[in-house]
Amino acid sequence: MKCSLKISLVVLTWALSWQASAAFTLDQTFDLALKKSETLTLGQLEIERAQQSGEAIKTRKRPRLRLNGDFDRVYSKVGSSDIHGDWQPTLQTELRHPLYEGGSIKAQLQSVEHLTTAARWDLEAQKEGLYLQVAQLFYQIVGSNADLANLRESERIYRERIKILQGRVRIGRSRDAEVLAARTQLDTINAQIQAVSTTRDIAQRRLAWLTGLPAPLSLTDPLRISDLKLAASKTKTLPSVEAARARVALAESRIEEFRTAGKPRVDLIAAHNWNYPFPDGEQANRLSFGVGLTWTLYDAGEVEANVSTAVIERTQASVTEALESRENRLIREQAELAFRDGLEQIRLYDQALAAAERNVKVHQEEFENGLLTNLEVMQAIDQRLQIKRSRDQAVYDAKLAYIEAELQVRGLPKAGKP
């Protein structure tokens, strides 16, 4: 028993450590956030609540059996006789089965169906919002890691350069000012490293909270910018638009539901009454069968007031649908434009980086030959660093724009795909 317990603990520890050290892709990270999200759980419960309200409405089609009991003191006077009071217990059993309710149940069930549909689309919209949130944090972290790599490489270069300059100062080939300038730039780079690290750590904590994984997260991005191509723009209705459409239909069914309040209702009625005069007299029994009619002839304007409210709700839903559709097109166009612009930026940055590498090499050679000062070499190194940082940032911005554009056209990705 103790041996098996130890083995289980070892396996559990290994599993947790593997999970903590494993590198997660964007889709794997999203899958974890999907399972962890309390917001999506609430959305699923909203669907179930809407469905359950329909079950309650369906029961109105079924018969109702009621038992009523009274215990009354009845006073009577016949002719010139004295007033006589008796206790009269009464018991009634009534069975009432709806035959026609004016279409109210049908309209209410349609309302429940549209409400459930809207809740389902709301849940899908929440999933897409979560996916975009995870993607933003994912690429913020991955981009920060790349930025830190560039900064730390520059930090290493400056530390080596300070050592070289200090050696040259001792033999009179450099000045103290050049060493001081290099140290100033090194301190600036260290401050940038701290700032980028803080930004990354905040994103790490947020993504860890969404996924339930311990920070820091190990992330891997298998996407290559050269493989990304936008899908042909096609008509895809976002979940938020579908939810708005469902609410338009919901408002229309509610209008019909309110109007049924003015229609007649017909019930099949069967009743049995027991009457027990007390303290004397004979027991009375009455069994009745029939049809009951209920028809509201005047409702003081209640139906029209409810219908007017539902009409306003329908108008609101229609405006929301139009707004969501316009925003869908705008977001898609912006994301596609950002992606194409990002590709062009990357191309230009690659050209600039190649030139910057050659420039740094030439500056270093001419510095060794005494033709340039160290400040000029540092300017060339700093220029290369800024181009590398901007180029890497453009890559991750383009990937995020691509994901957002694809989300607008195709929806959530399938497993294993971006």
Answer whether residue 3 is part of any domain.
no
Answer whether residue 122 is part of any domain.
yes
Choose among 117, 112, 105: nearest CA to 54.
112
Q: 274 vs 149, which has greater pLDDT?
A: 149
Q: What is the mean pLDDT of the chain?
A: 84
Answer whether residue 8 is part of any domain.
no
The segment with the largest mean pLDDT, out of 16-30, 112-126, 229-243, is 112-126
Q: Does residue 215 contact residue 389 with C-beta atoms inside 8 Å?
A: no
What whole-number distance in Å separates Cα of residue 317 and Cα of residue 106? 22
Provide the CATH number for the domain around residue 283: 1.20.1600.10
Is the pLDDT assigned to residue 27 strictly greater than 60? yes
- Return all residues near 385 (Cβ < 8 A) that are at least 6 apart: 150, 151, 154
What whole-number distance in Å separates Cα of residue 161 and Cα of residue 208? 39
Cβ atoms < 10 Å from Cβ of 139: 23
Answer whether residue 15 is part of any domain.
no
Answer whether residue 12 is part of any domain.
no
- Helix H or strand E segment including 305: helix 302-368
What whole-number distance in Å separates Cα of residue 123 and Cα of residue 119? 6
- Please tell me the pTM assigned to this model: 0.79
Answer whether residue 16 is part of any domain.
no
Answer whether residue 89 is part of any domain.
yes
The per-type count for the chain, helices as H runs and strands as E runs, is 8, 4
What whole-number distance in Å separates Cα of residue 396 and Cα of residue 249? 41
State how beta strands 84-100 and 284-294 pair. unpaired
Residue 403: φ, ψ to 5°: -60, -40
Answer whether residue 272 is part of any domain.
yes
Domain membership of residue 224 as a residue range: 24-76+83-409
Point out the least confidently predicted range of 16-20, 127-131, 173-177, 259-263. 16-20
Q: In total, how many domains does the chain have?
A: 1
